[in-house]
């Protein structure tokens, strides 16, 4: 017998023990032969894994990808292993993520021609010469000086301040809030697309902002409005450093994964985790946008030394993008919970409240592993084992989360960053 991921279950498999949900409620008896109806119900119940008679996860894994050419599997594993060089593949969660990414890459290579297989590079590599001579980029600037020097970060636009004030006013009605949001037609249009997308999956169309306010809730809508505004705010960063569409794809995927993981932990305001994932690398945009340092050299040094980008940031600057990100959110007077997540997403156990930073920590790792967009990092950051323990989920949650994310994220990227060129 063995514990099998829900996504790998097949009709006819038999339960090796009584099946109960996370709260201990009895669902199905030992010996039950699973049917398609059972599989659909298990998904609705939120079951992640099941103990099955006469089969193990290892058996399932050995059969997965059996139809793919072994040479392609070998090529895929080599490419993925290079990206996982900073990780501990003995950890069960990292090992499972490595397996999923290898299979994903092999399937991608299997359906593309030989030229396409060699096309993929990080967005900034197209414009950067690895043989460039690195200049001395040491600086005595503090994170606060960075924020003060960037005029675009000094204040939020008047429209967002009005929206925020209206939402925070206890006398405001849903109509007042809807009117405040509707004054920005671009934000309103994207917000309506968001609430009508697979991200929410509402059964009927929501065609007005006032109805969106009523269904989604004012606090949730406020934080989503801000996330949409931020994507619109950074449009002029040089493509020599970062492809902004790729940056926001990375951020949206990270936020979507964080939102899904948060739902498995019964966190109520999952929109907060989505926006935290969306903003987790916001400090990196300050580096890229600054004239006070040569951000190109930070990227090149990380690339040439095969180091993690945030480690090189700290080596050169004595601080990294997480500290800048926290200061930006503080300046914008966003909730302290968001500041906490952004600052500690690489080292969540340093936080006094580590669960939500740990969720975004895992989400960022998964996004980098899946190679969906890029904020400049070439490698998969290491998983903090204590953070994984803090999250308290099974490695089998990873494949289910990835499938759910892929269903939601296509529309999000399409309409949130489609005009970012």
Residue 344 domain-assigned (yes or no): yes
Looking at the chain, the whole-number percentage of residues with pLDDT higher than 70 is: 81
Q: Are residues 5 and 109 in the same domain?
A: no
Q: Are residues 269 and 247 in the same domain?
A: yes
Residue 53 domain-assigned (yes or no): yes
Q: Are residues 48 and 150 in the same domain?
A: no
**Burial of 12: CB neighbours in 10 Å, binned 0-12, 13-18, 19+:** exposed
**Burial of 48: CB neighbours in 10 Å, binned 0-12, 13-18, 19+:** buried
CATH value at residue 282: 1.10.3210.10
Chain segment 235-244, per-residue pLDDT in tens? 666 666 778 8
3-state secondary structure of 372: coil
Are 258 and 277 in contact by the 8 Å Cβ rule? The answer is: yes
Residue 166 domain-assigned (yes or no): no
Number of domains in the chain: 3
Residues 268-277 have a mean pLDDT of: 87
Q: Give the model's pLDDT for residue 250.
A: 95
Residue 216 domain-assigned (yes or no): no
Residue 191 domain-assigned (yes or no): no
Supply 384's token pair: 């903090």
pTM of the model: 0.81
Q: With left for phi above 0 and alpha for psi between -120 and 50, is residue 208 left, alpha or beta?
A: beta
Chain segment 68-80, per-residue pLDDT in tens? 788 898 999 999 9
Q: Give the model's pLDDT for residue 70.
A: 86
Residues 245-255 have a mean pLDDT of: 92
Chain segment 305-358, per-residue pLDDT in tens? 999 999 999 888 889 999 999 998 888 877 899 999 999 999 999 999 999 999
List phi, psi (to 5°) of 49: -150, 155
CATH value at residue 19: 3.90.105.10
- Measured CA to CA in angstroms, residue 239 lies from 123, 323, 420 at distances of 8, 24, 12
Q: Which helix (H) or strand (E) holds 413?
A: helix 397-416
Range of the domain at 395: 126-154+234-416
List phi, psi (to 5°) of 307: -105, 160
Chain segment 108-164, per-residue pLDDT in tens? 887 654 444 434 444 444 455 555 545 555 556 677 777 765 655 555 666 677 777
Q: Are residues 262 and 367 in the same domain?
A: yes
Residue 173 domain-assigned (yes or no): no
Q: Which of 52-56, 150-154, 238-242, 300-304 has the highest mean pLDDT?
A: 300-304
Residue 172 domain-assigned (yes or no): no
Q: Are residues 257 and 277 in the same domain?
A: yes
Residue 24 domain-assigned (yes or no): yes
Q: Are residues 109 and 36 in the same domain?
A: no
Q: Are residues 146 and 75 in the same domain?
A: no
Q: Are residues 139 and 285 in the same domain?
A: yes
Q: Are residues 142 and 40 in the same domain?
A: no
Lowest mean pLDDT among 76-90, 100-114, 392-406: 100-114
């Amino acid at each position: 017998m063995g514990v099998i991921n829900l996504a790998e279950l097949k009709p006819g498999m038999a339960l090796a023990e009584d099946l109960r949900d996370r709260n201990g409620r009895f669902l199905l008896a030992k010996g039950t032969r699973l049917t398609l109806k059972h599989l659909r119900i298990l998904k609705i119940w939120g079951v992640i894994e099941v103990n099955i008679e006469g089969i193990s996860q290892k058996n399932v894994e050995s059969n997965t990808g059996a139809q793919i050419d072994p040479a392609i599997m070998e090529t895929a594993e080599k490419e993925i292993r290079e990206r996982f060089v900073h990780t501990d593949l003995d950890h069960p969660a990292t090992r499972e993520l490595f397996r999923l990414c290898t299979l994903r890459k092999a399937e991608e290579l299997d359906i593309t021609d030989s030229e396409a297989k060699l096309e993929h590079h990080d967005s900034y590599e197209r414009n950067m010469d690895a043989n460039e001579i690195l200049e001395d980029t040491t600086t005595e600037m503090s994170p606060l000086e960075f924020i003060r020097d960037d005029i675009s970060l000094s204040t939020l636009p008047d429209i967002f301040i009005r929206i925020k004030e209206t939402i925070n006013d206890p006398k405001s009605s849903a109509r007042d809030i809807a009117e405040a949001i509707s004054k920005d037609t671009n934000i309103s249009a994207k917000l309506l697309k968001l609430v009508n997308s697979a991200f929410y999956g509402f059964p009927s169309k929501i065609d007005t902002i006032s109805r969106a306010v009523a269904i989604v809730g004012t606090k949730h809508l406020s934080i989503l409005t801000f996330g949409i505004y931020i994507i619109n705010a950074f449009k002029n960063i040089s493509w020599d450093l970062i492809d902004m569409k790729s940056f926001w794809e990375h951020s949206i995927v990270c936020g979507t994964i964080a939102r899904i993981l948060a739902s498995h932990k019964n966190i109520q305001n999952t929109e907060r985790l989505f926006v935290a994932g969306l903003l987790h690398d916001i400090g990196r945009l300050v580096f890229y946008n600054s004239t006070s340092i040569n951000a190109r050299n930070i990227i090149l040094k990380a690339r040439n030394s095969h180091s993690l980008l945030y480690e090189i940031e700290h080596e050169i600057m004595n601080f990294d993008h997480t500290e800048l990100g926290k200061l930006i959110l503080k300046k914008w007077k966003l909730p302290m919970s968001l500041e906490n997540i952004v600052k500690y997403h690489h080292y969540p156990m340093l936080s006094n409240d580590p669960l939500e930073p740990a969720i975004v920590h895992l989400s960022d790792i998964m996004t980098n592993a899946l190679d969906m967009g890029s904020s400049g990092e070439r490698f998969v950051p290491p998983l903090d084992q204590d953070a994984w323990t803090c999250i308290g989920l099974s490695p089998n949650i990873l494949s289910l989360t990835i499938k759910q994310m892929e269903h939601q994220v296509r529309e999000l990227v399409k309409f949130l960053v489609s005009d970012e060129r």
